[in-house]
Structure 1
């Protein structure tokens, strides 16, 4: 039987109550204010590392812009359009002000928090209309904000998570998919409980067993919210798991909680997106209720803080790939599982922490040769194979340029005879690097940061539907299709009797595949040449000039020894 995390139960005991929104919307207004005040009372005094300004977008709609310290002097920053939670009926700019400040400071990025109109006075789709208006305002104001238009993303929790998906749905419908590069949806509402598609019923019910009398919100709370804004259970704008455009959604991060009536919503959305081949990252908070992280006294609420302090957001952090393999080898001292590593807390007053290798793992290659007999633990993957794999990984996350491989650590890929001399050279190229020694060279940290200018998460990985249809209409492709069809008829489902014909057909398939590969490559190159703004073009310079375009200021990151 599932049980609450002991820390949460102690928290409730200290409060002398279970915080929950129930009753009418009028009743919930007071309850919500109490919960927000309680959450804010646990936070330290506000610092001046983030500046804010309020802007009126139109009658009834205001946004608050958060900028991290020094943003005006640096380069362009990602822009987050943040939609607060509250069941579309509660909340305002003040309620989640601390979280917006944290996102802006530790990402770092520019946050545009949306004070959308609320129910029950307003009905759907007023809320999503306001979010789209805010998005358009922020998009058009990119220059004034200092925002990088290749890195606009939507984020929010609960109802705000649903609105973030709604923004993507609207942008796709309006032919503006290229504007949004990601979604961060914390415990989002994605399905009306009365309209769960048959293929998702089992997954939805399996994760929604622990939703009776839950803290913060329960199922009755959600029913009250839905009724208050006249929700249409079949509307994909409000309930994104029903969308017909899921394959076009950008990379997404999802967080779900065990004791939450929206747990099933998040899990179904994760399944639906993965089925549509969308990249999804997720965290599941066992033993906790909806939105528990607003109470900073709980230790697991600090996990969000660790994510925000990461030099690169986890959804784009290539090092996580190597962490996973290191954990599998028991190579990192003090951590037996990746989950344990991700729960590690940054010490108070520090911006990083150190990880150390277990001595017995120092000479193990991280990436190994494999054959039909299995993996050879003592043989490192060849340089050529490693090169091909990382180039592919770079392509998948949107890097324009081929990535050069330097060193993961001693013993990986080709053996490095003169490690000290090699470390002096790695600052001149691209690549993922871990270091053996006390201090990582600052220039190399800057190089890793500069790589971010060469990546665009919107970079196409395949031909869009229109271009793909045009490809299949090409005379040379249609001619190949005709020859393949004739060969298939000749084989007549008897390949053993027509081996020569089978080989001829395979050659035709290969030729067609190569044509498609060339068409994809050409489309991708054309996309890059027309989609980069002036700043991105300035960054894409000949490699011999690379040291001239490094960011002027480096930021501290975790080190691995």
Structure 2
């Protein structure tokens, strides 16, 4: 499906202005992307936003906790969110708008995690931080009005990888209980010759060269061996994982691996809803100004509310 007019305009701007990260160091890529970030005007209001540090295995981990405006007497579902950025770039601020929208749209507390970035902290640093943060949220959810029995993990791109890995670690280690996982055009494994990579290697914002560079920063020896907690689709058994919502974009080099993981989960008996968004490119869902992003969010939020309600055994509104 061709891009609509707005998406084509935005994609052209991204192709022209997003830095060629593969020519940079990690620090340079972070500086370049921050310099190109537009100041947020009229951020979507939520009930409360709190920045704090939580303990991690290698030191404190920053988190940002979003609480919805409406605070019922009972505790709320909690979403632990991991931002994208190839394990190298982006931060709490880059995904602030999306986390606010998720908080309002689902009525859940959203905890966004500022995990360690590569190449300064290579694998398994981000994966370990993701799991540590998920454990902390489960243990401390009541402190901010959350219900640990309705805990979801979520992320976009590399954050989708971390959400999938956190769910896998939680299953393997017996805790915490994860009610569901939202994987938005996730990074799943370092394979760069798939059908979608061949078709969209260039000119669609995320390029094959950039993804190869991101993997080189995160897991330099990925050409020799890839651990399961870096590429979750390579786990011998995916059974017993929490229900998943997987969102892919038609014009995204990562489309094939996201859909491959969704199919593998389904084959293992995991309830999966996999939706390919026609005519869209990688990263579209977190672009607040895009009409297509707003449309897809209106489809996504009720699905997540249903997933949270199913865990609690009560109908959603």
Q: Same fold (TM over 0.5)?
A: yes
Other-structure match for 2:206: 217
Relative to structure 1, the CA distance from residue 258 to residue 69 in structure 2 (aligned partners, 3 Å threshold; closer, same or farther) is same
Aligned residues: 309
How far did residue 215 of structure 1 move? Answer: 3.0
Other-structure match for 1:61: 61
Q: Structure 2 residue aligned with 1:206, among 188, 195, 206? A: 195
Other-structure match for 2:255: 263
Relative to structure 1, the CA distance from residue 176 to residue 208 in structure 2 (aligned partners, 3 Å threshold; closer, same or farther) is same
Higher RCO structure, 1 or 2 (CA under 8 Å, sep 6+): 2
Other-structure match for 2:235: 243
The answer as to 2:253 corresponding to 1:252 is no
Alpha-carbon distance in 2 for matches of 1:137, 1:110: 14
Contact 2:137 2:148 in 1 (8 A): no
Alpha-carbon distance in 2 for matches of 1:281, 1:127: 26
Contact 1:57 1:133 in 2 (8 A): no
Q: What runs of 5+ residues in structure 1 fail to find an aligned partner?
A: 195-203, 318-396, 401-449, 453-556
Relative to structure 1, the CA distance from residue 399 to residue 117 in structure 2 (aligned partners, 3 Å threshold; closer, same or farther) is closer
The structure whose Rg is larger is 1
How far did residue 46 of structure 1 move? Answer: 2.1
Superposed CA RMSD: 2.6
Contact 1:184 1:252 in 2 (8 A): yes
Contact 1:253 1:315 in 2 (8 A): no
How far did residue 252 of structure 1 move? Answer: 0.3
Other-structure match for 1:180: 178
Relative to structure 1, the CA distance from residue 268 to residue 49 in structure 2 (aligned partners, 3 Å threshold; closer, same or farther) is same
Other-structure match for 1:96: 95
Other-structure match for 2:277: 285
Other-structure match for 2:115: 116
Alpha-carbon distance in 2 for matches of 1:145, 1:16: 40
How far did residue 20 of structure 1 move? Answer: 5.6
Equivalent residue of 2:246, what SS? strand
Other-structure match for 1:81: 80
TM-score relative to the length of structure 2 = 0.87
More strand by share: 2
Alpha-carbon distance in 1 for matches of 2:124, 2:232: 13
Other-structure match for 1:199: none
Alpha-carbon distance in 1 for matches of 2:158, 2:32: 17
How far did residue 249 of structure 1 move? Answer: 1.1
Correspondence list, 1:5-404, <5 A: 5-12=4-11, 17=16, 19=18, 21-22=20-21, 23-24=23-24, 25-34=26-35, 36-37=37-38, 45-58=42-55, 59-71=59-71, 73-176=72-175, 179-193=177-191, 205-231=194-220, 232=222, 233-307=225-299, 310=302, 313=305, 315=307
Q: What runs of 5+ residues in structure 2 fail to find an aligned partner?
A: none
More helix by share: 1
Per-residue CA distance 1:436-485 (angstroms, 9 max, x = gap): xxxxxxxxxxxxxx546xxxxxxxxxxxxxxxxxxxxxxxxxxxxxxxxx
Equivalent residue of 2:198, what SS? coil
Contact 1:258 1:284 in 2 (8 A): yes
How far did residue 182 of structure 1 move? Answer: 0.3
Contact 1:19 1:215 in 2 (8 A): no
Equivalent residue of 2:212, what SS? helix
